[in-house]
Structure 1
Amino acid sequence: MFRIIARSLVVLTLLTSGAALAQTASPDLPEAPQGQQGEAPMTLARMAGIIRALDPDMRVQGPAMEFTLEDIPVIVITDVRADRMRAMVPIASVEGLTQADLLRLMQANFDAALDARYAVAHGRLWGVFIHPLSPLEKDQFLSGLVQTITVARTYGTAYSGGAAIFGGGDSSEIYRGLLEELRKKGQEL
């Protein structure tokens, strides 16, 4: 048993270090700006402003903000004391999910869902993006929303967050288009 676990850890280490090396060695990746100051801490007011720019019909109920993106309902719940936020998209009822379905969701959480995740709560399958609130930057938030919507859309097929696509398909362009559209809507923020 120990040998199987040790081999798995070696394979996992090689996979993750190889992926990190591939990312750092890629000539297509932009370099981080030197000396640029980070954004101001994310606050509820700032987050609400970003969401309102995306959907002027957003609704606020206590720590929850409900809105629609690309015809998909999104709920953002915040906890200022815990400095956390969670963006959630309902996907399906958990009734009828098989063990194979759950295994596939866990596999996707490991390699394809990226910053979004599949989660189960209150009898429902969700796409979620969870992050500390105050260090969250606008583009991280927008990217997290896009990935969460994408895991909901690709449930049952690619199970992907959409941001890192390896291959020559159309998915990366679809992701970039939606991210740029959200950036333009939130440009003033």
Structure 2
Amino acid sequence: MPRLFSVRALLIAALIGAGTYGLSQTATPDAPTPEPEVVLEPPMTMARMAEIIQAIDPEVAAAGNAIQFTLDDIPVIVIADPRANRMRAMVPIRSAEGLKAEELMRLMQANFDSALDARYAVAQGRLWGVFIHPLSSLEKDQLLSAFIQTINVARTYGQTYSGGATVFGGGDSNGIYQELLKELQELGEEI
């Protein structure tokens, strides 16, 4: 109980000290609360996205509205349509031929909870890792996260089917991971 109280006290002190939620450090009731300074990024454009990607891979190849580059030895294709305000980062994983119903079910489960903002998708006879977002509101860090998540779903395909380090609650992946952990723990008992 004392630990809970100290954490609560720290949170309250932080809120009061930061002046958040309309609280002010001054006792004057009519003193204006300063607005937090918000630094907005410029809208994402094809040119800005190309500059960010070129910083990642100087060997970037651009053609029309598509940009192809390599990140950590994995090919990434980015396609954007400024008129439709959409972008898509894609990583080819494998041929879609031979995907069984159980595996397709597992991919859909991962799309719900462990693939994060990336997704598994099938198009043009291939299984892809994809990230889709409105172009103009995409921030640089979101773009970088998109690349990381998309290559992670490709890397973890057939294993954890994960876009990153976290799993969204309420889905099936945690139970699957727990079953896998139990199996590994049982194997450990035999060793």
TM-score (norm. length: structure 1):
0.69
RMSD (Å) for aligned C-alpha atoms: 2.0
2:106 to 93, 97, 104: 104
2:51 to 36, 45, 49: 49
1:76 to 75, 78, 81: 78
Q: Is the 2:75–2:91 Cα contact (8 Å) retained in structure 1?
A: yes
1:36-60 deviation line (CA, Å, top 9, x unaligned): 2221100111000000000000000
Q: Alpha-carbon deviation of 1:35?
A: 2.8
Q: Alpha-carbon deviation of 1:124?
A: 0.1
Aligned to 2:161: 159
Q: 2:106 is matched by which residue type in structure 1?
A: R
Q: 2:58 is matched by which residue type in structure 1?
A: P
Unaligned runs of at least 5 residues, structure 2: 1-10, 12-17, 19-35, 169-191
2:113 and 2:158 mapped to 1: Cα distance?
16
2:166 and 2:55 mapped to 1: Cα distance?
26
1:95 to 74, 93, 97: 97
Aligned to 1:116: 118
Q: Does residue 146 in structure 1 map to residue 157 in structure 2?
A: no
1:157 and 1:38 mapped to 2: Cα distance?
38
1:116-169 deviation line (CA, Å, top 9, x unaligned): 000000000000000000000000000010000000000000000014258xxx
2:43 and 2:165 mapped to 1: Cα distance?
24
Q: Is the 1:77–1:85 Cα contact (8 Å) retained in structure 2?
A: yes
Q: Is the 2:61–2:69 Cα contact (8 Å) retained in structure 1?
A: yes
2:84 and 2:165 mapped to 1: Cα distance?
28
Q: 1:98 is matched by which residue type in structure 2?
A: K
Match of 2:76, SS?
strand
Match of 1:88, SS?
strand
Match of 2:38, SS?
coil
Identical-residue share of aligned pairs (%): 68
Q: Which runs of 4+ in 1 moved over 6 A?
A: none
Match of 1:65, SS?
strand
Unaligned runs of at least 5 residues, structure 1: 1-26, 167-189
Q: 1:154 is matched by which residue type in structure 2?
A: T
Q: 2:77 is matched by which residue type in structure 1?
A: I
TM-score (norm. length: structure 2):
0.68
Match of 1:128, SS?
strand
Q: 1:68 is matched by which residue type in structure 2?
A: T
Match of 2:159, SS?
coil
